[in-house]
Structure 1
């Protein structure tokens, strides 16, 4: 197993070998590495690689073309970096040295540590790995589709949990601007907007919260043709009755979301 490789896909692709950054160049070579990295130390079939690299326009000799790119990748990363099996190829790198896999592991540890002092530190570590959008700059339907969407949803859920922890500590006033920024970046993600409304209400800014709700209601109606979620409507009713009351502990409920996009 190669221990001197580090691969980052939570943003523009970055590859480090022995502390030196490796420039890969062509999009298909970067796509191949990203796909292999997301399954580090697991075999990826030749067909899986070909679909990610060529989508609906595969080369005449698919297997030979994949072999050519594998040879180029080994040249860049070292001959021991990729092993071959009867069905495909395996990137010989510790999963913890691939940022997306480390992100998932930290989130799993945070879930297991829910409600303990360790949870916030694990969330901080996981969220700090992001440098932009997942697979930023790589053109591949496989990576930019379900794979990226899943990572983005994990990130947003982690952000929402991170917000809940801060609000449970009573840090409403200092978190308003951050939550507003995040909500603006995700104009139809109702769980984020619900947190903003609660935070404004608990800061005594009911009039502002009501104005925010009305703008959100119109946006949801215009863009989606539906009413806000029952949770948002409940928050709105509470605001109309005079505020949000005392802060609630972090919620473990699964809240619906309407849209996702990368943060920052």
Structure 2
């Protein structure tokens, strides 16, 4: 009796790319796919963030309708899955007994590629390769995550977690640049980053140290004072001990570069 041939693994959709780190975009090869419905974008975004895993019907329904769930959620979800398959290709989504799985490689989703590159950067920490990998990770970002997708499931903790990962990567990138003496070429970009996150004290601390290393103590002190007032008004608190140490180092420029470096290590 002839042995049965093993089943061939289902092919992934190689030409599909999904970008959620900014305005949501979907591409099949060189053609952009327009998803006119917010619920279609929501379903795809949830599936894209779970590549390699099956997402249950209930999870998809909650992401689309939140508290106003349809009476027959399975049939309602099936309707949107059918529309997605029509837009993306019939092999793009696999059905199982419990839900659906997007059939693309993780790197086809910019958020998952970003996470992979962060892991590579962590593995390359304190090596010459780390900075380049971090820059590649940060280059995946184009704006606020899930922009154009109205879903409480995505705009809450998931988006906040991605933003936190990005800011931590930005701060590490700044530290590497300062260690290489690149403060003069980085200062304008750090100013823009800090302005976008007015209460992110670790980022402002790096800006203050960068200004100090550029010999711009007066500007750094004025920046600290504006930040101190904003923290007091918005949070009813004083700047962090780290920011206060950097402030003291700015008041003592005679300490030179070493004082700024010491403030950054503590």
Q: Tell whether the 8 Å contact from 1:7 to 1:97 is kept in structure 2 after alignment.
A: yes
Q: Name the structure, 1 or 2, with higher relative contact order (CA <8 Å, separation 6+).
A: 1
In structure 1, stretches of 5+ residues that fail to align are: 254-264
Q: Which residue does 1:245 correspond to in 2?
A: 257
Structure-2 separation of matches of 1:80 and 1:203? 55
Larger Rg: 2
Paired residue for 2:180, among 169, 175, 183? 169
Q: How does 1:100-249 map to 2 (within 5 A)?
A: 100-242=111-253, 245-246=257-258, 248=261
Number of aligned residue pairs: give it: 252
Query: Alignment partner of 2:13: what SS?
Result: coil
Paired residue for 1:74, among 55, 69, 85? 85
Q: Which residue does 1:47 correspond to in 2?
A: 58
Query: Alignment partner of 2:113: what SS?
Result: helix
Aligned-residue offset at 1:163: 0.9
Counting helix residues as a fraction of each chain, which structure ranks higher? Answer: 2
Question: What TM-score results when the alignment is normalised by the length of structure 2?
Answer: 0.91
Aligned-residue offset at 1:244: 5.3
C-alpha RMSD of matched pairs (Å):
1.6
Structure-2 separation of matches of 1:252 and 1:103? 27
- After superposition, what is the alpha-carbon deviation per residue over 1:236-255, rounded to whole angstroms, capped at 9, x for unaligned? 11222225523649x788xx
**Structure 2 vs 1, CA of residues 101 and 244 (structure 1 numbering), >3 Å: closer, same or farther?**
farther
In structure 2, stretches of 5+ residues that fail to align are: 1-11
Query: Alignment partner of 1:96: what SS?
Result: helix
Structure-1 separation of matches of 2:225 and 2:33? 50
Structure-2 separation of matches of 1:202 and 1:4? 47
Q: Does 1:96 align with 2:97?
A: no
Structure-2 separation of matches of 1:132 and 1:179? 16
Question: What TM-score results when the alignment is normalised by the length of structure 1?
Answer: 0.91
Structure-1 separation of matches of 2:257 and 2:129? 28
- After superposition, what is the alpha-carbon deviation per residue over 1:53-82, rounded to whole angstroms, capped at 9, x for unaligned? 111111121111001101111111111111
Structure-1 separation of matches of 2:178 and 2:167? 16
- After superposition, what is the alpha-carbon deviation per residue over 1:169-209, rounded to whole angstroms, capped at 9, x for unaligned? 11112211111111111110001110011111112222221
Q: Tell whether the 8 Å contact from 1:201 to 1:244 is kept in structure 2 after alignment.
A: no
- After superposition, what is the alpha-carbon deviation per residue over 1:99-118, rounded to whole angstroms, capped at 9, x for unaligned? 10000000100011011111
**Structure 2 vs 1, CA of residues 109 and 149 (structure 1 numbering), >3 Å: closer, same or farther?**
same
Query: Alignment partner of 1:188: what SS?
Result: coil
Query: Alignment partner of 2:210: what SS?
Result: helix
